[in-house]
Amino acid sequence: MKKYLALLLFISIQTLGAWSKAPNAAGNLDQFVGRYKRMQGSTVLLLNMYVENGKLVSKQLWDFEVLPLEQKSGDDFTLKMKQNNWPVKFVREGNKVTQMLVAGHDLWTKVDDKPLNTEAIPANPSQYLGKYKATVNQKEMVIEVTLKDGKIWGTQLWDGGKSPLTYLSADNFFVNALDCPLAFKKGSDKKVNQLVLNNKEVFTKVD
């Protein structure tokens, strides 16, 4: 009888131990999923964090580089890079993941619980391609919209700055490198004739 009770006690302890590890198991990686943001000077950096094949993966939204993360324990991971591996620690407020600390000094803030769907594309991407012009403080500004490797890109011709444009819905996009919306407008002929950046800057299509 004593042996039977001891066996039950041992099984109970093992079961409780397994339960205590459950929140950090691979099946609960969804708590880390979302979109993270960091400022580098005046540059906005965004990345997606998502689960693929049971592993946590990051995708840099400025160049779409994909890097896997290996879970060490709990909220501690290792970012697997080509040259070096960087430690990653997710930071919580209460029990909710709110930030991510990379390499001990780069702090990323979680801005959305859902990653951007960077694979979405409009039915007719060619209608948006071309050059758009605006005059700001008596200076001519031109944005060129192009298609590269199946992705729509916007390039500021005055300084060479460029960014992928993530498709959201209808004629609405998201500028990955600026963390702001972009909408294309159409005239009465149903053709695209304007680009509106961040809900305020209007660029007219010239080419």
Confidence of residue 3 (pLDDT cuts 50, 70, 90): very low
What pLDDT does residue 2 have? 45
Asked whether the beta carbons of 182 and 171 are under 8 A apart, the reply is no
Check whether 39 has a pLDDT greater than 50: yes
Nearest to 45 by CA among 97, 103, 111: 111
Query: So what's the pLDDT on residue 207?
Result: 86
pLDDT at position 43, please?
A: 86
Q: Which tens digits make up the pLDDT trace of 127-177?
A: 999 999 999 888 999 999 999 988 999 999 999 999 999 999 999 999 999
The kind and range of the H/E element at 3 are helix 2-21
Asked if pLDDT for residue 17 goes beyond 90, the answer is no
pLDDT at 60 (0 to 100): 95
CATH code matching the domain that covers 125-205, chosen among 2.40.128.50, 1.10.20.10, 3.40.50.11540, 1.20.1070.10 = 2.40.128.50
80 vs 200: CA distance, rounded Å: 40
**HEC sequence for 108-150:** EEEEECCCCCCCCCCCCHHHHCEEEEEEECCEEEEEEEEEECC
In one-letter notation, the amino acid at residue 180 is: C
Token digits of residue 56: 């946590």
What band does 84 get if pLDDT is binned at 50, 70 and 90? confident
Closest CA to 144 of 79, 195, 98: 195
* Position 13 confidence tier, pLDDT thresholds 50, 70, 90: very low
Q: Evaluate whether 132 touches 56 at the Cβ level (below 8 Å).
A: no
Instruction: Give me the CATH topology for the region 28-112.
Output: Lipocalin (2.40.128)
Token pair listed for 142: 């031109």
Q: What confidence score (pLDDT) does residue 9 get?
A: 36
Is 124's pLDDT higher than 90?
Answer: yes
Confidence of residue 6 (pLDDT cuts 50, 70, 90): very low
Tokens of 194: 């304007």
Residue 51 has pLDDT above 50, yes or no: yes
Q: What φ, ψ does residue 28 adopt, rounded to 5°? A: -110, 25
pLDDT of residue 42: 83
- Write down the domain spans for the chain: 28-112, 125-205
